[in-house]
Amino acid sequence: MGEAEQVITVHVKYGGVEQTFTGGVNDVWVSVNKFFGELIPAFDIASKVMLSVDLAKLVEDFKDVVAIAPEGPEVLVPKEKLTDSETLQLYLLADYIGYRLGKLPRETMTKEELVAKLGKNMKITATRLGELVKQGNVVKTDNGSYRLATVAIGKLQEELAVIKSKIG
């Protein structure tokens, strides 16, 4: 870069990545083009396999199945028409929705809370939770609470018609 050449600084922010390029106009131009040429396609490719949840659609899909009360998540359908695993996942789904909407303080439930919601004893609840964790539908957190895995939300949306047919 010669003395007569101006120094330019370009700051690019895309997604969670930021990069600053400083130097001569030609060098910065090449660097910015390389940045876009390498990074943007990688983001586009990654976005195709990233699991994401459309919260508005989720609420609309499950509005007659789950609710968020001031006391916590609720399942609106008769539990005796659902399997224990479905019921647990629906409580965790309601908890997820409530947290995402800012109506609940956390997106996890303790085993004790789930025992009370399911209405079964600790052994049955713990067994079902263990199965759901093993299947990858529920995640056990470091503090021993449980939350619904993102992949399980998609599965529940796919199974919604089956769930609704069970409840009439």
pLDDT in tens, 79-117: 999 999 999 999 999 999 999 999 999 999 999 999 999
Assess whether 30 and 92 both reside in one domain. no
Assess whether 42 and 69 both reside in one domain. no
161, part of any domain: yes
Q: 63 burial class (0-12, 13-18, 19+ CB within 10 angstroms)? A: exposed
**Residue 97 vs residue 4, higher pLDDT:** 97
Assess whether 111 and 30 both reside in one domain. no
* pLDDT for res 18: 85
2, part of any domain: no
Assess whether 91 and 77 both reside in one domain. yes
Assess whether 72 and 90 both reside in one domain. yes
Read off the pLDDT of residues 60-77 as tens digits, 9 standing for 90 and up: 999 999 999 988 999 999
% of the chain residues with pLDDT over 90: 65
Q: Which of 49, 67, 83 is the last residue of a domain?
A: 49
Assess whether 26 and 95 both reside in one domain. no
85, part of any domain: yes
Assess whether 134 and 152 both reside in one domain. yes
Q: How many domains does the chain have?
A: 2
Q: Give yes or no for residue 3 having a pLDDT over 60.
A: no
Assess whether 134 and 154 both reside in one domain. yes
Assess whether 104 and 84 both reside in one domain. yes
Range of the structural domain that residue 81 is part of: 55-167
Give the CATH number for residue 113: 1.10.10.10
* pLDDT for res 159: 92
Assess whether 100 and 123 both reside in one domain. yes
Q: 105 burial class (0-12, 13-18, 19+ CB within 10 angstroms)? A: exposed
| Helical packing angle, 84-100 and 55-62, nearest 10° | 130
Mean pLDDT, all residues of the chain? 89
Assess whether 147 and 73 both reside in one domain. yes
1, part of any domain: no
121, part of any domain: yes
Assess whether 37 and 67 both reside in one domain. no
Read off the pLDDT of residues 19-38 as tens digits, 9 standing for 90 and up: 899 998 888 888 887 777 77
pTM reported for the whole predicted model: 0.72
Tokens of 151: 């992949």
Band the pLDDT of 44: cuts 50, 70, 90: low
